Amino acid sequence: MLRTAGKELALAPLQDWGEETEDGAVYSVSLRRQRSQRLSPREGPRDSQAPSANADTFLHYRTSKVRVLRAAHLERLVRELVSVDREQDPGFVPAFLATHQAFVPTARVLGLLLPPPPPPLPPWVEIKKTEVQDLSFNKNLRAVVSVLGSWLQDHPQDFWDPPAHSDLDIVRTFLGWAAPLGAEALEAEKLLRDFLEEAEQEQEEEEQPQALAGPPGTARTPSPDSPESYLEGEEGLVQEGPELLDFSVDEVAEQLTLIDVELFSRVRPCECLGSVWSQRDRPGAAGIAPTVRATVTQFNMVTGCVLGSVLGAPGLAAPQRAQRLEKWIRIAQHCRELRNFSSLRAILSALQSNPIYRLKSSWGAVSRELLSTFRKLSQIFSDENNHLSSREILSQEEATEGPQEEDTPPGSLPSKLPSGPVPYLGTFLTDLVMLDTALPDMLEGNLINFEKRRKEWEILARIQQLQKRCRSYCLSPCPPILAALRAQRQLSEEQSYRVSRVIEPPAASCPSSPRVRRRISLTKRLSAKLSRERGSSPGGSPGDPSSPTSRLCFSSSMSPGSPPSSPRMRDPPPGSPPASPGPQSPSSKLPVALTLSCPRIPLVGQQGSEARVIRVSIDNDHGNLYRSILLTSQDKTPSVVQRALQKHNVAQSWAHNYQLFQVLPGDRELLIPDNANVFYAMSPAAPGDFMLRQKEQARHTTSVPPT
């Protein structure tokens, strides 16, 4: 116990102590100091409510040991759900429930968690139901029921498995004898009813298009009941009625926010995990992360609406096209006022894309005031600081107290306090993908790295908190605007650039376009950040415009190496004329898909070493499927091959059968020797894309020197 006289000392409330290993588990140990009481050595204990004027008052601190589980076998992790001290480690249970699907299915957890039912009572024994409950309801059983209650309430979709919902049926059976009268059993029954009603509703929606289908050649009329019905139309639909930009700025921004709120509220946080989202392009993985894919589709739809409305009429004069640009800038500004960062980012991405930003005559006719607004909005998602501005603004918006559902009396007017915010989901997806890349799933001794899951849960918990805040929006659907969104002409990447070249041929430069700066590749940006943390200079020049572009695409339909990234805006020096972005290459394409930036992630276990993220694919029949791994200056070829095979779910015992090649520009490859240091053997001027090829297939491949 620590005592100080006269004044309080600034003591750290929690101090790292070390690690402890116990029964196949690793704990991190900290010492926590808590002030326990205030005493005077002369007067002894006295009334806590009486004021003390004695200068010799002593402060007493109690030091306690806090253990937090860092890694363990699966069985030990499940046991910890029941035995963990929630006062010492309050984050273990929510972190496990939020991230367990990354390393174990729900059915397996239930099999380890739920105890067997008690033996049946003899028929001649008569005992009340409540007494049976009391006899079997011991401390361990209460802990299991408590975990199930949190699980059912916070992650109900974990039990969605139509048509039988077998996992939920197992839980209902257990609660039926363990806590038949408890709130957990009632929650399980309610969840089953909700699942059955949802299945019936989906079946009715599938049958509805056939019932509403008219004669051949006629368009199907969607139901005006939900916003999504206006976004699921057939391609090539001929627009009838008013165009999207015929409506007011406020109306369009509010409807975009309404849709974004609906979709973001339905996002399952576990689908955002890097190990889940990175599997979206695998063969047969079309059903992975459907709620996240829906937000991607909406984002790309908004981007397509901007492109279609600005470029869809090639015969417009520059002042008329400038009016459309100005209106989209105003819509983006109102999205910012509504705290809708998702549609804000989508609109800015389209306006900053190659086919639009190169239109010098149109940008030259935009008012200076709106150009200034556009630049300020673009700085929110600047790539130069890893979207630091957007992260800080989002944190500030979260700190602003908005209306809470439980605080609003029934029938009262909605609060004037701000709602939301609706975040740009790509920021969270980037952080989770990079966490999955930088931190291993398993540690020495085949222990599950639960410290990684805690870091993931910190991000998922923030998503859940934002989802609760989004419930405070009070917006109503406007069917005509939603219909105009659905009917807006969509242009492909090649079509957009082709139309842009028709509007303004590429012969002249673009002095009137907003000042831009090319993106830095994801690989180089992460390498630079890791190098700066170690006081070393990153390899290559991040600002070199000839640097290869390696993008992490948000779009589920885009593959690695898709079109080059769009430029991003920054303010020019005061009084200087806007700079030219330079002539555009005919091969430049529009990045309709959402692009993600890399977060700042410390390199674990590597001091004073350089590192970069590389992408490795396997030469097989499954297509160009890349997996990202962290490459350090200490990694030799065998370890890189083994980690790449692990990422691709291929047996690592076959590592000696593979050779590693770096993919070079011009359809060339660089063979990395079997015992080489990959970090120094690779070509630094080429993208960090590699391929594994079986040695039998690689016999005809020759090594080429890097250029």
Would you state the pLDDT for residue 601? 39
Residue 693's φ and ψ, nearest 5 degrees, are: -135, 135
If one counts every other C-beta atom within 10 angstroms of the C-beta of residue 165, the result is 18
pLDDT at 664 over 80: yes
Burial class (CB in 10 A: 0-12, 13-18, 19+), 54: exposed
Across 546-564, average pLDDT: 33
Mean pLDDT of 622-645: 81
Token pair, residue 430, equals 């980037």
- List helix spans (H) across 179-269: 183-212, 249-266
- For the ranges 421-425, 488-492, 558-562, the lowest mean pLDDT is seen at 558-562
CB 360 within 8 A of CB 501: no
Please state the length of the chain: 707
pLDDT at 505 over 80: yes
Is residue 167 predicted with pLDDT exceeding 80? yes
Residue recorded with tokens 């409510």: 49
Q: Specify the pLDDT at position 361.
A: 93
Q: Which of 133-142, 298-307, 488-497, 528-537 has the highest mean pLDDT?
A: 298-307
Res 220: pLDDT: 41
The answer to whether residues 469 and 401 touch, using CB atoms and an 8 Å cutoff, is no
pLDDT tens digits for 124-159? 555 454 444 444 457 788 899 999 999 999 999 999
Q: Which of 112-116, 284-288, 389-393 is predicted least confidently?
A: 389-393
Which whole number is the average pLDDT over 458-484? 92
Poorest-pLDDT segment among 102-116, 126-140, 213-227, 368-382? 213-227
pLDDT computed for residue 13 by the predictor: 64
Band of residue 59 on the pLDDT scale cut at 50, 70, 90: low
Rounded CA gap, 108 and 81, in Å? 14
Q: Using the predicted structure, report yes or no on whether residue 537 has a pLDDT greater than 70.
A: no
Examine the pLDDT at 633 and tell me if it is beyond 90: no
Choose between 248 and 561: higher pLDDT.
248
Q: Is the pLDDT of residue 687 over 90?
A: no
Q: 389 falls in which pLDDT band (50, 70, 90)?
A: low
Evaluate if residue 47 carries a pLDDT over 90. no
* Contact present, 70 and 29 (Cβ < 8 Å): no
Q: Are 706 and 664 a contacting pair, CB within 8 Å?
A: yes
Per-residue pLDDT tens digits for 66-81: 889 999 999 999 999 9
Distance of CA 197 to the CA centre of its chain: 29
- What single string gives the DSSP state of each residue in 97-120? HHHGGGTS-HHHHHHHHSPPPPPP
- Could you tell me the pLDDT band of residue 38, with boundaries at 50, 70 and 90? low
- CB pairs under 8 A, 24+ apart, for 104-110? 104/74, 106/158, 106/159, 106/167, 107/166, 107/167, 107/170, 108/74, 109/78, 110/167, 110/170, 110/171
Per-residue model confidence (pLDDT) at position 395? 77
Q: Could you tell me if 298 and 266 are in contact, meaning their C-beta atoms sit under 8 angstroms apart?
A: no
Mean pLDDT of 209-218: 43
Query: What pLDDT does residue 249 have?
Result: 96
Residue 623, pLDDT score: 46
Pick the more confident residue, 627 or 536: 627
Higher pLDDT, residue 13 or 323? 323
Query: Per-residue b/e over 111-149, b at no fewer than 16 CB within 10 Å?
Result: eebbeeeeeeeeeeeeeeeeeebeeeeeeebebbbbbbb
Of residues 533 and 97, more confidently modeled = 97
Structural domains present in the chain:
4-37+60-117+139-202 (1.20.870.10), 249-398+418-438+476-503 (1.10.840.10), 611-694 (3.10.20.90)
101 vs 66: CA distance, rounded Å: 27
Better-scored residue on pLDDT, 53 or 330: 330
pLDDT over 80 (residue 219): no
pLDDT-derived band at 240, boundaries 50, 70, 90? low
Q: What pLDDT was estimated at residue 401?
A: 57
The pLDDT value recorded for residue 491 is 83
* Mean pLDDT, all residues of the chain: 74
More confidently predicted of 613 and 353: 353
**Does residue 495 surpass a pLDDT of 50?**
yes
For the segment 445-460, the average pLDDT, to the nearest whole number, is: 94
Task: List CB contacts of 393: < 8 A, sequence separation 6 or more.
Answer: 341, 380
pLDDT digits (tens, 9 = 90+) for 306-358: 999 999 888 899 999 999 999 999 999 999 999 999 999 999 999 999 999 89
Return the minimum-mean-pLDDT range out of 225-229, 418-422, 436-440, 483-487. Answer: 225-229
Report pLDDT for 490.
84
- The pLDDT value given to residue 58: 59
pLDDT at 333: 97
Task: Check whether 46 has a pLDDT greater than 70.
Answer: no
pLDDT of residue 56: 53
161-170, 262-271, 469-478, 653-662: least confidently modelled range: 653-662
Q: How far apart are CA 45 and CA 107, in angstroms?
A: 56
Dump pLDDT digits (tens) for 251-272: 999 999 999 999 999 999 999 9
Tell me the pLDDT band of 411, cut-offs 50, 70 and 90. Answer: very low
pLDDT for 543 = 34
The answer to whether the beta carbons of residues 672 and 631 sit under 8 Å apart is: no
